Amino acid sequence: MAELTLVEAVNDALHTELARDEDVMVLGEDVGRAGGVFRATAGLRDRFGPDRCVDTPLAEAGLLGGAVGLCMAGWRPVVEMQYDAFSYPSLNQLITHVGRYRWRTGGRMQFPLTIRMPYGGGVRAPELHDDSPEAYYVHTPGIKVAIPSTPADAKGLLAAAIRDPDPVVVLEPKLVYRTSRGEVPEGEHVVPLGEARIVRGGSDVTLIAYGAMVPVCEQAADAVAVSCEIVDIRSLRPLDERTILASVAKTGRVVIVHEAPRTAGFGAELAALIAERAIFDLHGPVLRVTGYDVPYPYWTIEDAYMPSVERVVAAVESLT
């Protein structure tokens, strides 16, 4: 075990997977010579060469569309989108091709590509470096979506994504890229998609979160008098419904936390799941603590947007 930051664990996963499988290649803007603006791809170009860690033109649709063609040529591309909001020009490729091409071939051609990107706010960055676009991705059929909150999961989920036969989007919480530090298994390490993680057990309230909101929930749980169970769902599709429903059955109270805007955010999906499958387990309403339905604000006022420990505490206390 080595103690790594979350972004170092991403880098470790890429080194490990490129060494393991010679069909894996990394491509994106500034991933090669610079090693990525967050250093997530550092050392790959030197170690594996400029053909397996490729600086591409600054064009996200061409980048993702190019990766579709690379799949057709037998590669297993790992595409870096430099920032969450910079991925939007590639949504046409994602929706019209990445999520449907295999289906369009009657299952006869595989598109095992991975798209990874830093996401989320709180980093005092300029506009459009702060978005939480997970709902766009998880709403797209054919796409799987994973979001780690710890260094070990960052490595293991990315490895699972790269090995998965379907296209997978991995959103990495940039707020905790360097503040989240933890033990990471050396060598090959895979965390299967579709398995939630119980961060801590509890009996009164279930807090459901992912990415950078997991530590917020942990602080909130420390600050309240009642016993909170925290579920880090880790994978939005496939979703570990059993772990969520088992926790709700135990506590009967739920607070869902995400940074993304509220309306049609992934919290709505989780709330609907609980309403459909666990309504008689509930002792109160399913609450959401989310970003607002506004453009992500400039950084001097972003703390007023991000779900805070105080807002999560207030939600928990309103239920108990």
Using the minimum distance from each CB to another protein, give the nearer residue, 22 or 310. Answer: 22
Dig out the tokens for 35 from the structure: 């090693």
Q: How far apart, in whole angstroms, are the C-alpha atoms of residue 118 and residue 46?
A: 23
Assess contact for 132 and 52: CB atoms under 8 A: no
Least distance in angstroms from the C-beta of 88 to another protein = 12
Using the minimum distance from each CB to another protein, give the nearer residue, 7 or 85. Answer: 85
Q: How far apart, in whole angstroms, are the C-alpha atoms of residue 130 and residue 127?
A: 7
Q: How far apart, in whole angstroms, are the C-alpha atoms of residue 35 and residue 73?
A: 25
Q: How far apart, in whole angstroms, are the C-alpha atoms of residue 79 and residue 53?
A: 10
Least distance in angstroms from the C-beta of 238 to another protein = 3
Least distance in angstroms from the C-beta of 230 to another protein = 23
Dig out the tokens for 119 from the structure: 């996401």
Using the minimum distance from each CB to another protein, give the nearer residue, 238 or 297. Answer: 238
Using the minimum distance from each CB to another protein, give the nearer residue, 9 or 115. Answer: 115
By CB under 8 A, name the binding residues for another protein.
25, 51, 56-57, 59, 61-75, 89, 92-93, 96-97, 101-110, 141-142, 144, 164-166, 194, 237-239, 241
The catalytically annotated residue of 129, 139, 258, 283 is 129
Total count of residues recorded for the chain:
320
Least distance in angstroms from the C-beta of 244 to another protein = 12
Among 219, 303, 207, residue whose Cα is nearest residue 258: 207
Half-sphere exposure of 111 (CA within 13 A, CB side): 27
Q: How far apart, in whole angstroms, are the C-alpha atoms of residue 141 and residue 97?
A: 11
User: Is 15 one of the annotated active-site residues of the chain?
Assistant: no
Dig out the tokens for 156 from the structure: 């293991």
Least distance in angstroms from the C-beta of 86 to another protein = 14
Using the minimum distance from each CB to another protein, give the nearer residue, 185 or 192. Answer: 192
Residues serving a catalytic function are 129
